[in-house]
């Protein structure tokens, strides 16, 4: 009896997996000898601040798992010889032949772990992740995707340090940085309404304050803060202007505790590694990212539709027409959101 029951349950499990992999009457068959992707070319990785808006290109060949599929491709980097024990993902795309990123975004991703104004020996790899179907928990599904990894390639990488303005008087050590070294600074800062602050340029030994809500003044009075919490701070030392804006990133949707109603599930910011994060319980449903509990603010992040397949969770679409991000399995997740100068991406990791 027990043997028959085991056979019966096994049959059901196999049937569910095959049903999840069936499309238009075709059963997906996985090759016993899949062909991994290859990382065929690395760009010049001597990064220069003056070229920050230029793009560099990684290129590779696609994975061939033995069946028709789509994949998301990632370029990972790590210190040479560490076997990707603590990798940094620097760029992602839905095709590997041309994976582009700006010099400033690449420098910003790598400088979180590797020294500025120095040469580092790094290993790079191309990683392909395939999801056949979701819901069963079997290999190839959303919670257990297939991953295929190229052989690594080594390169010397030179990163540049970012000019910065330190916040003095804010109560904690924090700064805003200039990705292009052009006198324009940007950063996310955590402020206390009882603690006004000034901005200090350690390279020029200059202190900036303000006497209104728009203009910086050399050696001026401290900049007032009216709301506790995360803010987006931009400063331009060329024309002596600044913008200080409340910036509370949140997750909203049918999969979140408040569903589509405010308040959103607010995220914290990891200033060292440059991402927003939250750990929470999600149900099966959908979600999006927005700022300050508003669809009218500066981000409305989702994925693409059939006409915009390039927009995935690894390349989010900041547009009111973007589609909701599906959550196909309930559970406790750690969600990370990366906001670059020109790109957005996120990860959902089930705990």
CATH 2.60.40 describes domain 36-159:
yes
* pTM: predicted TM-score of the whole model, two decimal places: 0.74
Q: Is the dihedral of CA 41, 348, 229, 302 positive or negative?
A: positive
Q: Is 325 exposed, middle or buried (0-12, 13-18, 19+ CB in 10 A)?
A: buried
pLDDT digits 0-9 by tens, 162-180: 999 999 999 999 999 998 8
The band of 15, judged by pLDDT with boundaries at 50, 70 and 90, is very low
Query: Which whole number is the average pLDDT over 177-202?
Result: 96
Confidence (pLDDT) at 344: 92
Q: CB neighbours (10 Å) of residue 76?
A: 20
Query: Which whole number is the average pLDDT over 81-98?
Result: 93
Alpha carbon distance 36, 63 (integer Å): 5
pLDDT above 90: residue 2: no
Confidence (pLDDT) at 177: 94
The residue ranges of every structural domain in the chain are: 36-159, 164-246, 249-350
Query: Which whole number is the average pLDDT over 230-240?
Result: 98
Question: Tell me, which fold does domain 249-350 have in CATH?
Answer: Immunoglobulin-like (2.60.40)
Confidence (pLDDT) at 29: 58
Question: Tell me, which fold does domain 164-246 have in CATH?
Answer: Immunoglobulin-like (2.60.40)
pLDDT digits 0-9 by tens, 45-59: 999 998 999 999 999
Confidence (pLDDT) at 69: 73
Question: What percent of the chain clears pLDDT 70, i.e. is strictly above it?
Answer: 87
pLDDT above 60: residue 23: no
């Amino acid at each position: 009896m027990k043997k028959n029951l085991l056979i019966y349950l096994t049959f059901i499990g196999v049937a569910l997996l095959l049903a999840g992999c069936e499309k238009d009457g075709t059963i997906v068959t996985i090759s016993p000898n899949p062909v991994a992707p290859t990382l065929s070319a690395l760009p010049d990785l001597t990064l220069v601040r003056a070229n920050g808006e230029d793009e560099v290109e990684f290129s590779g060949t696609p994975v061939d798992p033995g069946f028709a599929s789509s994949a998301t491709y990632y370029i990972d980097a790590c210190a040479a010889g560490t076997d990707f024990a603590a990798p940094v993902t620097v760029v992602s795309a839905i095709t590997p032949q041309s994976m582009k990123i700006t010099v400033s975004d690449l420098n910003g991703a790598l400088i979180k772990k590797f020294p500025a104004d120095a040469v580092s020996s790094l290993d790079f790899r191309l990683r392909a992740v395939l999801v056949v179907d979701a819901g069963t928990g079997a290999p190839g599904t959303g919670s257990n995707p297939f991953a295929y990894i190229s052989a690594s390639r080594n390169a010397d990488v030179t990163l540049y340090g970012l000019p910065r303005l330190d916040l003095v008087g804010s109560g904690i050590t924090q700064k805003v940085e200039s990705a292009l070294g052009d006198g324009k600074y940007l950063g996310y800062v955590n402020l206390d309404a009882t603690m006004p602050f000034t901005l200090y340029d350690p390279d020029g030994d200059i202190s900036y304050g303000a006497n209104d809500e728009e203009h910086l003044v050399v050696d001026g009075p401290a900049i007032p803060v009216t709301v506790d919490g995360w803010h987006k701070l931009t400063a331009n030392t060329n024309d002596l202007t600044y913008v200080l804006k409340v910036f509370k990133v949140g997750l909203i949707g049918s999969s979140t505790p408040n569903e589509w109603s405010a308040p959103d599930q607010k995220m914290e910011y990891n200033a060292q590694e440059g991402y927003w994060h939250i750990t929470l319980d999600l149900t099966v449903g959908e979600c999006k990212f927005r700022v300050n509990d508003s669809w009218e603010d500066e981000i409305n992040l989702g994925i693409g539709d059939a006409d915009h397949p390039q927009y995935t969770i690894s390349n989010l679409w900041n547009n009111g027409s973007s589609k909701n991000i599906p959550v196909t399995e309930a559970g406790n997740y750690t969600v990370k959101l990366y906001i670059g100068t020109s790109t957005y991406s996120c990860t959902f990791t089930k705990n």
